[in-house]
Amino acid sequence: MANSNLAAAIHELYLVADSLSAGDDEARATVHEAIDLLDRGAERVAEIDPDTHQIVVNEWLREAILLLFRLSHITTTTAGPFEYADKLPLKTGYVGAGVRAVPGAVARWGSHIEPGVILMPSFVNIGARVGGDTMVDTWATVGSCAQVGRRVHLSGGVGIGGVLEPPNAVPVIIEDDALIGSRCMVTQGARVGEGAVLGEGTILNPSIPVIDGETGEELSRGQVPPWCVATSAMRRRELRGGEFFLPCVLVRRWLEPGERHDKARLNEVLREAGVSA
Ligand SMILES: CC(C)(COP(=O)(O)OP(=O)(O)OC[C@H]1O[C@@H](n2cnc3c(N)ncnc32)[C@H](O)[C@@H]1OP(=O)(O)O)[C@@H](O)C(=O)NCCC(=O)NCCS
């Protein structure tokens, strides 16, 4: 089916989702066609418009993912001594096509992983996309529909939030060349710009202010600008109940476009040697 017809068919199914069930083979075949497009990387849930730099969400593909859960039975599968019960199969056929996956790495069907990616024991959910030469380090999770660029480093334990619902919500975007420090949480449609370095333990969501440490100016909420080094910080808030310190993200310094931060360079050296940082 042409993609525009498929998009219309998916949207029609989505409108009557409540009446569908796992036994509906025709609807399931239509939905599988859409998920296969995601899996092959032929379509993506969200992308950055090259002219406006705004995020464009292809809502019909996210609808397809939601429908997939409704139209799938739970089946039991085994892998060695492990046993699972799930509605979705794992992704297949991508390892060896330039992707290195360490035991314990899990990617679900409908995610797309470009050649050159290294998956340490980690999880990549349906609808997510991981760009070439990106490192997904140990216990990092890439949530549903999150769009991770090329040459990104998601350090150990990073949580990239999944955004499947509500409709119209924007997925998390990590642009090319970003370094996300250990145990950061980037959720609910937050965005990290190209080449940005996020210090360990930073929480970024669309309510968290991003502040220029030099000027005190609030640059955005939930969006770290490109080519900067930003860390977690606290801002004082006077509330009726007293004085509190709420998290914010502080831009500590600006990088030249294309400049690699010293510590990001260190990670590249380790990666070339086949070691995770
Ligand atoms: C955030 C980071 C880029 C800062 O490095 P840097 O630019 O060399 O800066 P410095 O180490 O000189 O620290 C600058 C300031 O930021 C503070 N800072 C550093 N890391 C921080 C963090 N994670 N959260 C909050 N503040 C932090 C320092 O205390 C220092 O404060 P000061 O100016 O008041 O003295 C660096 O710590 C980093 O790369 N973090 C990610 C590392 C990572 O997770 N790697 C992968 C696995 S090892």
Gap between the Cα atoms of 277 and 270, Å rounded: 7
Of 130-139, 243-252, 259-268, the one with minimum mean pLDDT is 259-268
Q: Is 231 in the pocket of ligand 1 (CB under 6 A)?
A: yes
Q: Is 210 in the pocket of ligand 1 (CB under 6 A)?
A: no
- Using one digit for the tens of pLDDT, what is the confidence trace for 219-255? 999 999 999 999 999 999 999 999 999 999 999 999 9
Query: What was the pLDDT predicted at 79?
Result: 84
Q: What angle do CA 108, 16, 20 make, to 5 degrees?
A: 60
Query: What was the pLDDT predicted at 149?
Result: 98
Average pLDDT, the chain: 93
Sequence-ordered list of residues with C-beta below 8 angstroms from that of 73, at least 6 positions apart, any chain: 22, 87
Gap between the Cα atoms of 158 and 202, Å rounded: 10
Q: Beta partners for 164? A: none
Query: What was the pLDDT predicted at 161?
Result: 96
Say whether pLDDT at 51 is over 70. Answer: yes
- Identify the residue with better confidence: 152 or 2: 152
Report residue 168 as tokens. 């119209």
Gap between the Cα atoms of 25 and 136, Å rounded: 35
Q: How far is ligand 1, taken at its centre, from the CA of residue 93, in Å? A: 39
Query: What was the pLDDT predicted at 262?
Result: 67
- Identify the residue with better confidence: 264 or 244: 244
- Using one digit for the tens of pLDDT, what is the confidence trace for 32-48? 999 999 999 999 999 99
Q: How far is ligand 1, taken at its centre, from the CA of residue 199, in Å? A: 5
Q: How far is ligand 1, taken at its centre, from the CA of residue 182, in Å? A: 11
Say whether pLDDT at 269 is over 70. Answer: no
- Using one digit for the tens of pLDDT, what is the confidence trace for 163-187? 888 877 899 999 999 999 999 999 9
Query: What was the pLDDT predicted at 2?
Result: 85
Mean pLDDT confidence for 115-126: 97
User: Residue 146's pLDDT band (boundaries 50, 70, 90)?
Assistant: very high
Residue 229 sits at φ, ψ, to 5 deg, of -110, 120
Which of 135, 138, 198, 200 should be mutated for ligand 1, with most atoms under 8 A from CB?
200
- Using one digit for the tens of pLDDT, what is the confidence trace for 8-17? 999 999 999 9
Gap between the Cα atoms of 73 and 265, Å rounded: 46
- Using one digit for the tens of pLDDT, what is the confidence trace for 73-100? 988 888 888 899 999 999 999 998 789 9
> How many CB atoms are closer than 10 A to CB 230?
27
User: Residue 121's pLDDT band (boundaries 50, 70, 90)?
Assistant: very high
Say whether pLDDT at 263 is over 80. Answer: no
Tell me which residue has its CA closest to atom 27 in ligand 1.
231
Sequence-ordered list of residues with C-beta below 8 angstroms from that of 95, at least 6 positions apart, any chain: 101
Q: How far is ligand 1, taken at its centre, from the CA of residue 183, in Å? A: 13
Q: Is 197 in the pocket of ligand 1 (CB under 6 A)?
A: yes
Gap between the Cα atoms of 1 and 9, Å rounded: 10
Query: What was the pLDDT predicted at 169?
Result: 86
Which of 120, 251, 252 should be mutated for ligand 1, with most atoms under 8 A from CB?
252
- Identify the residue with better confidence: 264 or 8: 8
Gap between the Cα atoms of 131 and 154, Å rounded: 12
Query: What was the pLDDT predicted at 273?
Result: 47
Q: How far is ligand 1, taken at its centre, from the CA of residue 230, in Å? A: 8
3-class DSSP state of 11: helix
pTM: 0.90
> How many CB atoms are closer than 10 A to CB 59?
17
- From the list 215, 207, 208, the residue with the least C-alpha distance to 231 is 208
State the closest ligand 1 atom to the C-alpha of 264, by its place in the atom list counted from 1.
39
Q: Is 268 in the pocket of ligand 1 (CB under 6 A)?
A: no
